[in-house]
Chain A
């Protein structure tokens, strides 16, 4: 090994991460993509709030919590669907998806009520 520049180390780290992630099953990648989508949407709303102020505050909260909430639910789904997790070995992914859909519908009912 010997001395190496931090950028190279970082590059190597990213590379290894990327290659490790490439082995992830496609359905998990879709969930990850969905999580990213939700988180970015939440971030954009926070930025908007930081620029113009929090006037319709409940609308802002609804928007952000809708994104965060669905992201959290997606994370839960990912945990249950992942075959590496022995804990949920006996749980079929279809059942996990059904939970995900149900929780999303309940969450959004509350969000819509709160939206004003």
Chain B
């Protein structure tokens, strides 16, 4: 129990200190296998399909980006559904678009005639459209047909007019409206609009007016001006518009914008000159989501990262560390990995360690050391840590420089990357000793050396006029005094289970605690006797944190005065609290003393004796039944009268054995009426007979 408490204290202190360090620096890891397994889990097949065509597209797109092979399983059923949607003349525009999107990935066998019919329909709806989503679905559909077959003519003739009607929906801040009737503007719609415009540019049969394209570029710049920023450098597009589809989270909005600008940059084949730190911030935002909880969010994240990963805009390079906790005693090497957002390898580059910020102090030591590239593992290694690095927490600042000047245009490195690093090591414990001092002069009464790396079992004696002193030194691997964050505790535990915990103070050079028992008697509840001593020293950078029993001290404290506080009742052990309760023993009344069986039976016989005597007496008196009526009707009544009395007595016997009072009273009421009737008939007959005799 005591050991468990100590470990808990250690663990909570470690957590608290780790939480405090994570401020400005943060690590963003590229897409990894964790995302792949999450994708397989989130996009799970129910009844052999992913649900609607839209959900199927999102699942397939995510799988394609992550490189998961799942197509053959669902290919047949999805293709059937795609073919059905595409051949049906009543399919909605949105369904056609989704079916074409799915077909773009699965490449089902759809004949060119069907494509031509759909293209005809889509062209019609482009010309008739005035809602943003209608433009998006029809132009997107035509784009997909263009990619899937070369036989069908998908070019749009009146591109400038369509362009203007789409542009009419844009707002001054770079966002867009879904329809001209709706004044609310949306960032998600901006992404959709950019994609639509990009589609329109590639579908236009003649060149689009340059000034129109320039206005769209201007819109994109305005959109990027409104980007939101987190402290860790992540950027995102906020979505204030709430519509019926529920597209209101920053993830889907940012994803939509990234898709839009990528499509636009691809279509125009021009440089957009977007600020590199914002693109990097967007990449950090999508990576910072880590693994989303819903399939939709995962699609938005992965699709946006895929756009960023092979974007024509610029490809962000992400610096990540396999391990941010390095042990100086194990001589761990600092390794840095540079990847694109999707985890693929980066172009040749060099990584420099520029600065090291020590926790707690603002000043940084400038290092400017280049890391050595290990081509086998694709990591950059810092072989030896700088000399002045001791155990503790640091923030390392890295800089990526690309070797090929061509790459500098394509890739963005995001300037200096700050990464929190924890350096751990074995802490040496020296000069540990425990002593009992005389209070007045401070002379040493008893002193013991301790070896805190092993077990100790000291036995000390002290009274309330003495002091207990415990001291030890902590040294880091580089020989400096180590100062854990107030994580040295001394625990005294009385035999009765009363515990007292003291914090061991740090005097700069060594740790020391002096317990003056005179001032502590009240705190100790005047409990004399054996106290176990336990020492806990721990820190999150100390690899050999320990919780050791040092032995015991026999305390001789004065007797408690009457008003002294009683020791608190000991907390119930949590194991026994939830464990089985003590068995409840029921105390029953002891049974009454019973007479011997024979005696009771004998008295039963005795009770019958007067009854026999009664019959004997009746015989002696020559009693007879001659007075019973002779004629049939009175005789019957007399018989019924006796029968009635017998049945009432029988009812009483039943009442005694099993019936309750209410049942008995009901039956008795009926029997009583019967008895009254027959009794009256019988007795009145007898009375009339005797009256006749008298008168005669």
List residues of A whose CB falls within 8 A of some B CB: 26, 29-30, 33-34, 36-38, 40-41, 44-45, 47-48, 51-53, 55, 92-95, 97-98, 101, 105, 108-109, 112-113, 115
- B679 & A52 in contact (Cβ 8 Å cutoff): no
A26/B595 in contact, CB under 8 A: no
Q: Knowing A52-B600, A113-B655, say if A101 contacts B623 (CB, 8 Å).
A: no
Determine the residue in chain A with the shortest Cβ distance to B691: A92
Chain B min CB distance to A33 (Å): 4
Not counting A94-B687, A109-B668, a sample of 6 additional A-B residue pairs whose C-beta atoms are within 8 angstroms of each other reads: A26-B622, A36-B614, A48-B603, A55-B592, A94-B690, A112-B652
Please give, as numbers and ranges, the residues of chain B lying within 8 Å of A48 by CB-CB distance: 600, 603, 606
In Å, the complex CA distance between A16 and B187 comes to: 134
**Size category of the binding interface on chain B:** 35 or more
For residue A115, give the distance in angstroms from its CB to the closest CB of chain B: 6
Considering the chains assembled together, what is the distance between the CA atoms of A50 and B606 in angstroms? 15
A105 to chain B: which residues have CB within 8 Å? 645, 648, 672
| Complexed CA–CA distance, A93 and B622 (Å) | 21
Complex alpha-carbon distance, A36 and B609, angstroms: 12
Q: A94-B687, A108-B649 are in contact. Are A51 and B613 (CB under 8 A)?
A: no
How distant is the Cα of A34 from the Cα of B621 in the complex, in angstroms? 12
Q: Which chain A positions have C-beta within 8 A of B347?
A: none
CB atoms of A33 and B592 under 8 A apart: no
Known: A34-B614, A52-B600. A94 touches B683 (CB 8 A): yes
- Bound Cα distance A98, B672 (Å): 13
Closest to A41 in B: B610
Please determine whether B610 and A44 come into contact, CB atoms closer than 8 angstroms.
yes
Q: Report A38 CB to chain B, min CB distance, Å.
A: 8
- B594 interfacial by beta-carbon distance below 8 Å: yes
The A-B contact count (CB < 8 A) is 82
Q: Which residues of A contact B595 (CB under 8 A)?
A: 51-53
Q: Using Cβ atoms and an 8 Å threshold, which residues of chain B touch A36?
A: 610, 613-614, 617
CA distance A40 to B617 in the complex (A): 14
Q: Which residue of B600, B611, B664, B687 contacts A41 across the interface (Cβ within 8 Å)?
A: B611
Do most interface residues of chain A lie in helix, strand or loop, or is the interface mixed? helix
> Which of B592, B613, B661, B686 is within 8 Å of A113, CB to CB?
B661
Q: Which 7 A-B pairs have the closest CB atoms?
A: A52-B595, A40-B610, A37-B614, A94-B683, A33-B617, A94-B687, A48-B603
Query: Known contacts A37-B611, A51-B595, A112-B656; is A92 also within 8 Å of B645 by CB?
Result: no
Tell me the smallest distance from the CB of B71 to a CB of chain A, in Å: 86
Q: How far is the CB of A84 from chain B (nearest CB, A)?
A: 17
Say yes or no: A97 contacts B610, CB within 8 Å.
no
**In the complex, what distance in Å separates the CA atom of A115 from the CA atom of B655?**
10
If A48-B603, A109-B668, A113-B661 touch, does A33 touch B652 (CB 8 Å cutoff)? no
Pull 20 A–B residue pairs with CB atoms less than 8 Å apart, ordered by A.
A30-B618, A33-B614, A37-B617, A40-B610, A41-B611, A44-B607, A44-B610, A48-B603, A53-B593, A55-B593, A55-B594, A92-B691, A93-B690, A94-B686, A95-B683, A95-B687, A105-B645, A112-B652, A112-B653, A113-B655
Q: A37 CA to B612 CA in the complex, in Å?
A: 9
Q: Which residue of A lies closest to B596 (CB)?
A: A52
Cβ-neighbour of B621 out of A29, A98, A113 (below 8 A)? A29
Task: Let me know if B88 is at the binding interface, CB within 8 A.
Answer: no
State in angstroms the CA–CA spacing of A2 and B683 once bound together: 55
B603 touches A44 (CB 8 A): yes
- Per the bound structure, the CA–CA distance linking A115 and B661 in Å amounts to 13
B594 and A98 contact, CB distance less than 8 A: no
